[in-house]
Chains A and B, each alone.
Chain A
Amino acid sequence: MEISYECGKFFDEMFISPGVPRPHYQSIFDRFNELSEDDFHQKRESTDLSFVEQGITFTVYGDEESTERIFPFDLMPRVIPNTEWQHITKGLEQRIKALNMFLKDIYTKQQIVKDKVIPAEIFQSAKHYRKEFIGVDVPEDIYIHICGSDLIRDDAGNYLVLEDNARCPSGVSYMLENRQAMKRAFPRVFPKSGVRPVEDYPIKLLAALKHIAPKGIDNPVIAVLTPGVYNSAYFEHCFLARQMGVDIVEGRDLVVESDNRVYMRTTEGLKRVDVLYRRIDDDFIDPEVFRKDSVLGVPGLMRAYTSGNLGLANSIGTGIADDKVTYCFVPAMIKYYLGEDPILPSVESWLPYRPDDMKYVMENMENLVIKAANEAGGYGILIGPMASKKEIESFRDQVKADPRGFIAQTPISLSRHPTYSDSGFDGRHIDLRPYTICGEKTHITPGGLTRVALKKGSLVVNSSQGGGSKDTWILHGDR
């Protein structure tokens, strides 16, 4: 199959110039070149079919009947050479360390506020700030156990952090399933590809969960807490539970007794649970403390947690780090807590709550990306250069009305990657979500989820909005 197209003004992951691959892409480029169109389509079809048959799907709501879809999978892998990966992991380790120190600080002494690095009103007005949680001791001082920061590359190929997903980052099952799919599709390539394995993710996750078990419990009972079968990521919750060999529980399976311990209801009676990997947002986790109308949560769970009878990953209130205004302060945090310069830069940002920034944003809206501070999934975004006058004016009003609720960023021309489309291979924009696990040590799985915007020219990679994914190959070496 021929892979060649104009790279344009974008950084192309594979090509230095049309038809000339970078050294770390040479072998996969050669493999695709020798592949006939028929073989390629056969591989594509059987891969898609196996996703459908295994039910590796997510649910899209909104229509009358919710539909299950597969997350489109592109057979052309994304390759990252070792040197680049070392740089990424150092940057992510630094970042998670600073974020965990920040959360500990915010929920205890708030020294960073006293030292005037971050204004109090910023975190106090963060949507996911949990004042109920101040002063609570957290096992091992780890707040974010699992983090899925989104990285992008600019037109010069520099890696930038776009956002930190410090609550319940999803997608890791796709990282693992995509690898399986690639191995089935290209069995001859793998043994000599020099690709680092990702398969130990569940083992590392399990170890991190064991690490936060209540003191004195050697063989903790661990479970994955899911909102249930109707959640769009339910497949992933089950997948991880199965891979780790632990139970998957819903809120209604758990009960907190008067001894402030958590139990699950089994056919043999109540059985104690020591650690929960929860995939339910704070809001819904305990109707005694947070949203009273939640039927997904477990009444009393916070009592068990604050009494030290339960390990919880991620901890409560980590969503404050997901606030896009907080994101703008991460470089300052790194400096403040670690005395280091950030290894992975953030995207240049403006904060409209500051009068000077507001003025700049108002004058340059058509050249900026505006983001709502607390939206996710690709919603609440204005891409100035691509937006209509009407859209710009609508955002202008919203930003004026709620300056704290928005940030503005320089538009980044995301790097592109050869991706199969109906007219053959063409460049499509991509990002990267590596998965960081913070336990006794910090572990970053050599891989991640590469998401790709399948629509030509689109910058939105989210699965809910026409995104797809690729297997991500981290090489042992640089070629």
Chain B
Amino acid sequence: MAAEITLDVRGLEPPEPMVKVLDALETMPPGDSLRMVHNREPFPLYGILQQDGYQYRTETFADGHFEIVIWR
């Protein structure tokens, strides 16, 4: 069964959020997904995800935080 791991990167100094997400994606088994919890929309990360062949979906929340679900 496909699993989802959650990674909360709020409060980390750039580029730590991106480093953590890319590291986690390296070791993620195919079919699983990663949920990144962030306090802004990571536009530069989107470019790298597209280049590396990942798909993603961004959810916005009323309190201003974002959750980005990433899978391949």
Q: Do A and B belong to a common assembly? A: no
Residues of chain A whose beta carbon lies under 8 Å from any beta carbon of chain B: none
- Residues on B facing A (Cβ under 8 Å): none
